[in-house]
A and B are shown apart, each in its own frame.
Chain A
Amino acid sequence: MEQLFDLALFNSALRMLTPILLAALGGALCARVGLFNVGLEGLMLIGAFSAIVGNHYFGNTGAAIAFSIGCVSLFALLFAYLCIHLRANVIVVGIAMNLLAAGLTTFSLRTLFNVKGAYYNKDMVGLPKWEIPLIKDIPVVGDILSGHSPLVYLAIVLVGAMWYYFYRTIGGFRFLAAGDNPLAARSLGIQVRRYQYGAMLACGVLCALAGAQLSLGQVTMFTEGMTAGRGFIALVATMLGQSGPLGVAAASLLFGLMDAFSIRLQGFAMPSHFTQMVPYAVTIAAMFFFKNKEFVKDAQSSGTSSR
């Protein structure tokens, strides 16, 4: 068992949870204004791909991430326009977005790089690993916390920032109000649509970062469908965490740990197809504990609340 649990496991869990956490925070923002975003997976995939494209053309991770944010934001805006202005069903648009992302990235991969399945180039630079001064010298804690990509730290900071925004600022208070009762918010002159667009756009940015962490942070390559359902796991994390930043972080930690665990299990002569099942099995198990049906209601009422 000692080989099963060690510090490196937690270290890799932190790396694994980052894309899930970033996307789940985006999902939480959307859920809080009545847009149940099932398109996290697609947005994340576009983020991962465009980060690689940006990296290929600009040769710089900062520019790559900026490019990725730009691309995903475009899709998020399209998503928002369809749901908010044209009052399309959020779930349907979300699924369409996922299918579009899968097709578009595969197609673009072939046209831009002339490869099938995966694109890898040894000249591409991945995200830097930050050694945190002071903390890296602390035993145990340093081993776990230090030496990650900046996005890992950003994700953790964003949890706190979102908590502060929601529960301590006037803007966040109105944001929550707009989601809690859009009709009442409108009667007070609160621009509900503006908050909905804001949430969707912020979700796009977060999904872009999540994708970039996948394609530039863990490995430096893109493979077709590389998000592998992480967007849906993020969706479950959103629900399990009741769309609160802290709850979402805790749920993401669980899933990140399971992700890391499944890789570790492969070293134990277990068939890899079996071990890869672990995070998803845990997701399904988690759904059993998730008895709060409010989200079903939210999803159903999202059509009306976006009016």
Chain B
Amino acid sequence: MLLKMEGISKNYGDVRANRQIDYDLKPGEVHAIVGENGAGKTTLMRILYGMEQPSSGTIRIGGREVRFADPKDAIAHGIGMVHQHFMLFQNFTVAENIVIGKEPGKLRFDRKAAIAQVEALSEKYGIRVDPRARIVDCPLGVQQRVEILKVLYQGAEIIILDEPTGVLTPLEVGELLEAIRTLTKQGKSFILISHKLNEVMSAADRITVLRDGEVTGVLEASRTSIEELSRLMVGRPLAAMDKQPALPKDKVLEVKELSVLGSGSKPAVDSVSLHVRAGEIVGIAGISGNGQSELLQAISGLIKPAGGTVALLGADVTGKSAREFRNAGLAHIPEDRYVWGASKSATVAETGTMGHQRKLGKLGFLQGRIVKARVSEWIKQYAIKAGSPDNETQNLSGGNLQKLIVAREIAQQTPFLIAAEPTRGVDIGAMETIHEQLLRKRDAGGAILLVSSELSEILKLSDRILVMYEGKIVGELQEGDATEEKLSLLMVGGKRNG
């Protein structure tokens, strides 16, 4: 056994993040850890990587007991970690990012040697990168390869991948899985942390499931199913979603020939026309960066379009302020919860009130009691782990903050809702709740525009799917005949369909 963790417990005050966890890893194996947010995956990995000390329990590497005071110790023992948010230096080159910490040369940094070493490394493991390129110019898939090469350069035998596919396009995910296969053949072992069960099923040999800090199952990937895994993760069988056919009525949103200028010569949004009717969910699929963000910002009044019109419930709101858009009947679950959706230093109650403040006030004063009562209600309804409403927003995990924002925006009860990446970084239990709420809103006659980089989410919820590519709508599919293959092809500009 290459790595053996036994009886690992970790307490933060009264919170028991890890309870008596056993975990082991064989050479050349991919052993995944799955679990919902707050199940203790991250804590366990932080212990293994020397960022936290366990309250009790032992770690053995190659049979010898080890103790890591900091990540340096872990690295020295052949453990490398690819963080969910890449730890790269944007202004440095690929080679510089890989060799940092163990640079060739004594006092003088020998950059030529660094490039040669990175080329050799890239050759040896079959992971292609351009050592001279700057990180800012590299797509996320390449940046991840740089991260993997970095831990290999540091001499890692055990590579921890923390939510590795979150930011990748479907094509890049395929390449990553391929790279994992190549590396395990060369004897490297992987700890894969993820909540995307289908990827775990295709990449892992064994899967450990955590719930509330405890192991609820260790399974062979070949002898389990996604259903079994999700049951172990959530602790109950997931209800099959009950989706009735849509009954679309009048147009709520009508966008005509909308254009938004891009940073370069190409427009970010290129004369897009679309509409959303009451009682339907329209999904926009596309690889991120193909104009979806700009389209949403123009539809929600955050940026002014260069041309075209936006009408909500028949009223032209083109070029008006975000407040006027909202008054005309818009609610918006923004794609980046930290940029558009919340203030990190505000309390949970304050974040929950944003957008409702004019309705909850009296003579310009907010009434704390009413505000807190409302937010507490959402906390209960959506099972948000927020502590108290006076807690700071930045202390919420991403998934819990997302639930709070979804609750806040759905509570606006507007005829039109933009749901951009509504379940990004959210675990399956919460995803179930959010999807249910979106469908309920639709059934109540709401019009929803859904943008998501998760094809499965688009396919599951949408009644009609539009595909965006390079700022244009390149295809429209009805619920029945949309498949992942058809969408993937359209998403990379493969075929035009109307």
Contact = CB atoms under 8 A, between A and B. Distances in A.
Chain A partners chain B: yes
Q: Specify which of B101, B105, B106 lies most central, judged by the most chain A CB atoms within 10 Å of its CB.
A: B101
A173 B96 contact: yes
Given A177-B89, A180-B91, A189-B75, A168 B101 contact: no
B83 interface: yes
A189 B87 contact: no
Interface residues of A, number: 18
A94 to B, nearest CB: 22
Interface string A163-191: 00000111111101100110111011110
Contacts of A171: 107
Contact of A189 (B89, B96, B101): B101
B90 interface: yes
Contact of B87 (A169, A170, A174, A188): A188
A176 B75 CA distance: 22
Chain A interface mostly: helix
A177 B103 CA distance: 13
Nearest to A167: B109
A263 B474 CA distance: 67
A303 B208 CA distance: 39
B108 A168 contact: yes
B89 A170 contact: no
Contacts of A184: 86-89
Contacts of B226: none
B92 A170 contact: no
Interface in B108-127: 108-109
Interface in A31-59: none
Interface in B73-92: 75, 81, 83, 86-92
B243 interface: no
Contact of B70 (A173, A181, A189): A189
B71 interface: yes
Interface of A: 168-174, 176-177, 180-181, 183-185, 187-190
17 contacts: A168-B108, A168-B109, A170-B103, A170-B108, A172-B109, A173-B103, A174-B100, A177-B92, A180-B89, A180-B91, A181-B87, A181-B88, A181-B90, A189-B70, A189-B71, A189-B72, A190-B101
Given A168-B108, A187-B87, A189-B70, 18 more contacts: A168-B109, A170-B103, A170-B106, A170-B109, A171-B107, A173-B96, A173-B100, A173-B103, A173-B109, A176-B92, A181-B87, A181-B90, A184-B87, A187-B71, A187-B83, A188-B71, A189-B71, A189-B101
